[in-house]
Amino acid sequence: MFQPAFLALDKPVGMRSTKCVEEVRRALCACRRGIKVGHGGTLDSSASGVVVMLISSATRLSNIVMMMPKVYRATIRLGKETSTCDFAGEEVFSSDWRHVREYDIDLALCSCLGWRNQTPPKVSAIHVGGRRAHEIFRSGGDPEIKPRPVYVESLFRVGGVSSCGEFVLSVRCGKGTYVRGIARDIGRSLGCGAHLSSLIRESVGTFSISGAARFGESGELNPSELEKAMMPLSELSEFLPVYALPDEDMRRLEKGLAARFSNASRRSFGNFAPEGMIAFISGGTFSIARLKREGGEILAVPEINILGGMAEEKG
């Protein structure tokens, strides 16, 4: 049986994220049966790059992986807006772009930075009245999608504008941000329309495309290479603040009981603390908890407990 683990997979263009899950499960089940596989957030089939696979009970950490910041390399083409906001959709608006200067583009990028309300594309997985927006749109309907807050940490142009009106952006953003939506909004700001002509997700939190497992030339995954690419749950120490507790307190967390935070010792600061979550690692147990004050004392209240999946301690 596999230990809980993370696996960064380089998804090719044209493949759905759910298909990636199926292929990873098929490859791993070739050597061991009954492997549970999930993912930490989808990636459009028209895009390529990192999709984080969750192995065994690591599937319980899906929401935490989804909270990690993403880095994309996006190619934007000026002159046409499409129904999907990328190259796969039908044209809904077009205009001459040749009057647009690089200075104009950089000014438009500024309006996309920080916290802002973004309206997701109509071809998206957003729920509208109990149905997916893309289902409503593709059946001839017009889904009414409300804007929602998203966070874009950095957004800058990489190089100039090509003769066909394309330029490349580096985007670092938070959960729920549609890079396709950024392309659409840039085009509307410039008045000429724009869409995404290609998208590569370069990283999800600490999971980078440089260390991701890849499909072979025949379109299959190598089980032994997948196992080599797996990462322990302690990989989250670069994302969440991580603490250690004495064995007695860890046993309390394992049973779903609160433990005194005053007994904890910090192992890492982490880069983020989404919604106040912190992690406790001790021995073979990994616990996600929240802190609360009770009777003048701070307690760690466990929410997710996972046994196994820890990297061995180095002495």
Which residue in the list 10, 44, 86, 249 is annotated as catalytic? 44
240 neighbors 65 (Cβ within 8 angstroms): no
65 neighbors 9 (Cβ within 8 angstroms): no
CA proximity to 275, closest of 185, 198, 174: 174
Which residues are within 8 A (CB) of 303 and not within 5 positions of it... i.e. 6 or more apart? 277, 288, 289, 290
How does strand 194-204 pair with strand 166-173? unpaired
Q: Is 142 tagged catalytic?
A: no
- C-alpha 213/C-alpha 207 separation (Å) is 11
Alpha helices in 255-304 (DSSP H): none
Beta bridge pairs of residue 74: 169, 199
Annotated active-site positions, please?
A: 44
